[in-house]
Structure 1
């Protein structure tokens, strides 16, 4: 199988280019990524719907991947609790080689087709859950094996890949194939392919969380208030929703710990009067 992501770059003699030219060409290639994602939106919609339905019924979302793909899954999973106030075990990112591989590559970790399912056992994975394999090449044995076992055990499966017709997509019930083409630096899939995967992950987790009721209007009303910036943001949200002055809104937010609870308490108080 000839992988499009491994084809030679159309740019040559990169080391001889001035920086301005390097940056322009990288940017030119990056501009094509959103259009590639757009072509895959019907498949992304299918995956969003199945994940939201499973999670409404007590399921969880697992991402599995290796290298850049695995790191992107871990990042997306780790950002869901602070952004949407969900438990840390609702969205789980697993990378081949374990958490140490987030910072430093673990040799040949992606080549074991049995290990992903072993890694998922730590979380008591079950048939309510969804497993999404992330693999730019669409050929990673770690991801193929994990999806195959998940299918055997009755889980829903999806994938985000950047080549068409590969074995990862063949294993996934809900495949998302975003074909981004050759990279600016030949084979460097942390570039366009990684950007495409990040865009799809943004769509997937954001749309799912909205469907789960974790956004009100256009606000992150369940976000965790873990720093002063977020407290200030939350205070402004409470002010916008209630008409309260800043000090009163801040006190209400501090008392109830989230924008949603603060606004609900204020509304109940007004109704009781």
Structure 2
């Protein structure tokens, strides 16, 4: 009970700290919203995507919305925690926490709770911008929102665990941004966030399928894109069962890596 109480109090502390950092808010909280706005405005005069499909196609804002939702999940979890925890190791914050009675579980609970709360706020704002600024039609079926809920929750938690594991990679807190951001950026380009996944070479699609972002984006496309777009997916199907399986595998991999690599201080300190 004490561990849970400490973890709950850490969530509030982490949220206050997060929203006081302008760079973190911009690059993880507002970045997907800004990118959606850029794509929507840049292609506002272009013909609709899939205009020859039943229903007359969709706007570029609607087409990019699923990818931006998935990118926000990855940025909030992997990039935010990967950089943040590495920085706390570098400036001695974790070393000081290690000398207190704070359990590791409470520390992780605070970080993951902060990401979950900020991600919910982010996706609500993103959907509001899409709906009212760019006239994107949101799903009306309860089944679609149920799919959204489990893909979102599963994806954010998996991203958090992988972010914690990735924080062990930078040698110093100052190098964390240079190590983490290129990895996250590369995954966005090959996973169907900025480029249509079906237009990528087959070998690059197979490579991207190893990583969770491709499956998070695919799960979100099943929620926000019309059923006619399912034929553009590999195997001509959304494959939600495979989405869940891949995310589960990466969650387990991330937990194992966290267990093996996380220390209050670096081994070479």
Q: Smaller-chain TM-score range?
A: under 0.3
Highest Rg: 1 or 2?
Answer: 1
More strand by share: 1
Larger RCO (CA under 8 A, 6+ residues apart): 2
Task: Please identify which structure carries the higher helix content.
Answer: 2
